[in-house]
Amino acid sequence: MMIGTTVGTRFHIVSRVGEGWLFIVYQAQDRLTGQRVAVKTLRPTFITLSPFVAALRRACEQVTGISHPSLLRYLTVGEVDEAQPFFWVCELVAGQSLGQLLGRRLPLPLTQALHLLIQIADGVAYLHRQGIVHGDLRPHNILVTSRGEVKVGDYGLSSAFLASRVTETEWMERVAPYLAPERFHGDEGTPQSDIYALGVLLFQMVTGRLPYEAATIADLAHLHATAPIPLPSSLNPSVPFSVDALVLQAMAKDPHRRFPSVDAFRDNLQEALAALETIPSPIPPVPAEPPSEKEEATDEEERPVWRQVTQSVLASVIGLIVGLVFVGLLVYSLLVSTRPREVVVPDVTGMPLTKAEQLLKERGLQLRVVRWQPSKDIPPNHILRMEDPEPNRRVLEGREVLVVVSQGVAPVLVPDVTGQKLEDALATLKGAHLKVGQKVETFSETAPAGTVVGQQPPPLTQVPEDTPVNLIVSKGAPPPEPEEIDWRSVPPDAKVARVSLVVGGHQLQQLVQIQVNDAQGFREVYRGVHVPGDRVSKTVIVRGSGRIRVLVNGQLAAPEQEL
């Protein structure tokens, strides 16, 4: 039991707050400042995973001390004892996680969702300016106070989770719904992958659902990589097209098509929020004052009967005439005086969505997006075409203008053409709407001549249509190598080493160098251009003590070999 103990010489643990999949959280008192703080310790399952604990501590040390209004502030990290090798102290926040808030109220009101996400984006943008990627953005790691203030926590830890197969598996089960497609391929977290996760959070907050749901991580990865991005408005009709556009750009499959930065995403969120908050609320009608109840004295009883009848008929006729005149004036007012004026529909084709909406609004027209469609020529979130009415037509003010918006170039999956004959590979790429890039040849001990043995980009990568795919084609088995060394001329004191290397990487042509530094001085004993998959094997002679260096494209391919 940790309750009653003091960690870090000053944090006295007084109670247990709760636990998650990784940490047990306690409340403690800072004896130096008197403030209440939270202390996180590892659950017993993870204490024995030494590589993970070391990686986690390094990650925590990197973010400890960062201060921003929208970030949970971490004070120190350390070790309790051998039985508990880790503790992490942070500020204690009274509130609930975003996950708990979503569980109680789904979906969130639009303005509340945007207010919260703007604060989240503020904190994440600050992390990026410090060179830190959050990497684990999901509702569980975001706290919301009773005043609607946000505190983003557990930032900068995602790389540590990959240090152990156990923690990686546990973490992936929780974070997969929020991971960008490229992260399922093993890429490290980037600011662009954080932007993708923010897009997922926005979708979830305004619809009450995740954009993609599946039973396994593999199925989720496939959906994130290939499935069309659903529109929030398809689940929640109150979501405006401006928020649809934000989700589509933030969750673009290609990282380069997302917002250039979280700051840019936040600015667009603020514009969307301002547009929502400036929509005028309907003014309730003011009830008319009741008519006066004053009664007038009359001497009808004293009038003759014929006079009463005559006056009654006359009053009825006058009342009928007045009524007809009033109705006529009312009809004229409705049909003529309040008739909407005619306006000319401006041509907004090719304009950014927000600019088109503003221009139409200035003309007294309303923009409505009927669908989103891929386009090679029109950038994402720009008007692809106007469906009804057509540009330059005269219409009544208040009319809806129906438009189709570009999603940008449609992404396609690069097929795996390795092992295919060159002719078949070319046909496969053409069928996938891709072009053939460079074709280079290399010897192969296993693949017949004319067979594709490598490609770039690699299989299952998402790229725009018409992207060139470079191919490495087999020239067949390599010819027998001549004897490299005349062993009769090798001095008795010389040392002989066999240097072998399989060329990797993604560049289609790579420079391989083998250098020796020995008693005879520095020299280059081999230089050649190779492609990925080539096997380089050379015999090297060293005189006296010496070092052998192998470089690929000017970079050490392996530690120097000392003889």
* Chunked mean pLDDT (size 10), the chain, 563 residues: 84 90 92 90 88 91 90 90 86 90 85 95 94 94 91 92 87 92 86 96 95 88 89 90 92 93 94 78 41 40 44 55 56 50 89 91 87 83 89 86 84 84 92 88 81 82 83 83 66 80 72 88 86 79 86 83 80
DSSP H helical segments within 369-488, as ranges? 422-431
The pLDDT, as a whole number, for residue 457 is 83
Q: What six digits make up the tokens of 549?
A: 């260096």
DSSP H helical segments within 384-538, as ranges? 422-431
Widest CA span in the chain: 155
Q: What pTM was estimated for this model as a whole? A: 0.54
The owner of tokens 């009342």 is: 319
Estimate the share of the chain in helix, then strand, then coil, as percent rounded to the nearest 5.
35, 25, 40
Architecture of domain 99-277: Orthogonal Bundle (1.10)
The CATH number that domain 6-91 falls under is: 3.30.200.20
Architecture of domain 411-474: 2-Layer Sandwich (3.30)
Q: Which of 194, 100, 179, 180 is nearest to 139 (CA)?
A: 100
Domain boundaries, the chain: 6-91, 99-277, 343-406, 411-474, 489-562
The owner of tokens 């639009």 is: 110
Indicate if 489-562 has the same CATH topology as 6-91. Answer: no
Residue 307 to residue 320: CA distance in whole angstroms: 20
The CATH fold of domain 489-562? Immunoglobulin-like (2.60.40)
Torsion region of 339: left, alpha or beta (phi above 0 gives left; psi -120 to 50 gives alpha): beta
Residue 418 to residue 477: CA distance in whole angstroms: 17
Work out the number of other CB atoms within 10 angstroms of the CB of residue 394: 9
Assign 3-class secondary structure to 121-143: HHHHHHHHHCCCCCCCCCHHHEE
The pLDDT, as a whole number, for residue 288 is 40
Residue 33 to residue 262: CA distance in whole angstroms: 35
Q: What DSSP designation does 22 have?
A: S
Inter-residue contact 95 to 88 (CB < 8 Å) = no
Q: What DSSP designation does 261 have?
A: S
Architecture of domain 343-406: 2-Layer Sandwich (3.30)
E-assigned strand segments in 422-508 = 435-442, 452-456, 462-464, 468-474, 494-502
